């Protein structure tokens, strides 16, 4: 497994189909924010300190009552079957081997109960996309509780899919082919909706659902023009087709407002963590609504082309939160040194995204484990070499 981040990515590219690579590596529009997310780390430079007795170091940290060997979690990533046929099974094995918590996506390729079994007693957080259908929301929350989720991560930045040019031009939309919808197809509330659709008469027009998801509509239009025979309409069985149509109908909603969070608060006692904040003002509102944590993230640049680099959004949000709840960070972490910079800017932990998917594509669980171990090893060395012994000792004084 390459330790050099760009080598890891190019090796994974060689191992993946061009559609899978475009989906995972790609982002919104002209990929300006994807590029900014990594290049903006160059704006921050560490100033190493000497003679600090860093012989013994400890990376452990605790968040939401969860003890972690390092300030690192696996980001929720949907449709992992694009990278490896065993998808979450392999990722969970790596999480278990390293003790690093796993966030389980609503767009997973394996039902959360099966992932939970693979995880043993490794910490897990369930990531929720707030469905248009409230019975599905309630059901996902109950299932997350039942699998022992340590928190509920509510992703706010993807109530519609961004304008993802690389997927559009390939005519590739994985869930239109029934990939990445395992949480839904294993869900009693969702299955009820599919059954209703089948009784109402198959061949229900798919367009009304797609109309609610503009980029899905555009993708299907693009597929119809350039790649006839690849679109939703081509799904073989009536049941699979009804499941995909139902998914497109219920995937998410764009009419949510801050007050809706109070309903979720009443629904569950799990800690609630909001994912996808970039504005200090939104961080303040998150505090007002009593959430238990936030994740500063722009979804890896997959949503708004031209949005600011996530690392540039971090410092002012950390100042706004002022230590009252944990602040996690993602979008652009490619190395242990990047993790150290995020910690120095005030993050309590970071999420690893694309790099672990590259490890998965290259070598399954062993690949994910190697990527995690490389990140932690470089973090540990860098921490010691700048003169710190623990995550708690990092701060802005480390930055020049």
Enumerate the active-site residues. Answer: 299
- Do the bridges between strand 327-329 and strand 293-296 make them parallel or antiparallel, or are there none, so unpaired? parallel
Which residue's Cβ has the minimum distance to ligand 173? Answer: 78
Residue bearing tokens 């659902």: 209
- Do the bridges between strand 293-296 and strand 61-63 make them parallel or antiparallel, or are there none, so unpaired? unpaired
Three-state secondary structure call for residue 352 = strand
CA distance 382 to 256: 42
Q: Which stretch binds ligand FMN (CB under 6 A): 40-48, 167-175, 204-212, 294-302?
A: 294-302
Residue 24 interacting with ligand FMN (CB under 6 A): yes
Residue 335 site contact among ligand 173, ligand FMN, none (CB < 5 to 8 Å, cut-off depends on kind) = none
- Do the bridges between strand 66-68 and strand 61-63 make them parallel or antiparallel, or are there none, so unpaired? antiparallel
Q: Which stretch binds ligand FMN (CB under 6 A): 69-77, 166-174, 314-322, 337-345?
A: 69-77
CA distance 263 to 248: 24
Query: Under a CB-based contact definition with an 8 Å cutoff, are residues 115 and 92 in contact?
Result: yes
Residue 326 site contact among ligand FMN, ligand 173, none (CB < 5 to 8 Å, cut-off depends on kind) = none
Q: What character string, x for contact with ligand FMN (CB under 6 A) and - otherwise, covers 166-205?
A: ----------------------------------------
Rounded to the nearest whole angstrom, what is the least distance from the CB of residue 389 to ligand FMN in the complex?
27
Residue 353 interacting with ligand FMN (CB under 6 A): yes
Token representation of residue 92: 């969970």
Cα 52 to Cα 70, 322, 383, 384, 387: the distances in Å are 21, 27, 11, 9, 5
Q: Which stretch binds ligand FMN (CB under 6 A): 46-54, 296-304, 314-322, 385-393?
A: 296-304
- Site of interaction with ligand 173 (CB under 6 A): 78-79, 107, 158, 161, 175, 180, 299, 302
Q: What is the contact surface with ligand FMN in residues (CB under 6 A)? A: 23-24, 37, 75-78, 105, 107, 127, 155, 275, 297, 299-300, 330-333, 353-354
């Amino acid at each position: 497994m390459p330790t050099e981040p760009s080598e890891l990515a190019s090796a994974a590219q060689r191992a993946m189909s061009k559609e899978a690579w475009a989906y995972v590596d790609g982002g919104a529009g002209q990929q300006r924010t994807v590029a900014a997310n990594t290049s903006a780390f160059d704006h921050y430079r560490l100033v190493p300190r000497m003679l600090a007795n860093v012989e013994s170091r400890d990376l452990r940290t605790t968040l939401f009552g969860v003890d972690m060997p390092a300030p690192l979690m696996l980001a929720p990533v949907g449709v992992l079957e694009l990278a490896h046929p065993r998808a979450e099974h392999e990722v969970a094995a790596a999480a278990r081997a390293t003790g690093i918590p796993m966030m389980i996506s609503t767009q997973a390729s394996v039902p959360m109960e099966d992932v939970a079994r693979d995880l043993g007693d490794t910490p897990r957080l369930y990531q929720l996309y707030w469905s248009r259908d409230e019975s599905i929301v309630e059901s996902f929350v109950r299932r997350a509780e039942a699998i022992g989720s340590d928190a509920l991560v509510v992703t706010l930045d993807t109530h519609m899919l961004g304008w993802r040019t690389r997927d559009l031009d390939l005519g590739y939309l994985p869930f239109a082919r029934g990939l990445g919808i395992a949480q839904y197809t294993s869900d009693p509330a969702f299955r009820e909706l599919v059954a209703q659709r089948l009784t109402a008469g198959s061949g229900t027009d798919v367009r009304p659902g797609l109309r609610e998801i503009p980029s899905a509509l555009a993708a299907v239009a693009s597929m119809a023009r350039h790649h006839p025979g690849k679109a939703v309409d081509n799904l073989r069985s009536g049941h699979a087709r009804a499941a995909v149509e139902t998914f497109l109908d219920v995937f998410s909603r764009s009419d949510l407002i801050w007050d809706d969070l109070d309903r979720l608060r009443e629904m569950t006692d799990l800690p609630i963590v909001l994912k996808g904040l970039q504005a200090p003002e939104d961080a303040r509102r998150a505090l007002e609504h009593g959430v238990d944590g936030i994740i500063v993230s722009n979804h890896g640049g997959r949503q708004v082309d031209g949005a600011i680099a996530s690392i540039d959004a971090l410092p002012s949000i950390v100042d706004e939160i002022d230590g009252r709840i944990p602040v996690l960070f993602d979008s652009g972490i490619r190395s242990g040194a990047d993790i150290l910079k995020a910690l120095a800017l005030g993050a309590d932990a970071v999420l690893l995204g694309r790099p672990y998917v590259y490890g998965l594509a290259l070598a399954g669980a062993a690949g994910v484990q190697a990527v995690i171990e490389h990140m932690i090893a470089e973090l540990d060395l860098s921490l010691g070499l700048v003169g710190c012994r623990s995550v708690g000792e990092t701060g802005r004084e480390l930055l020049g």
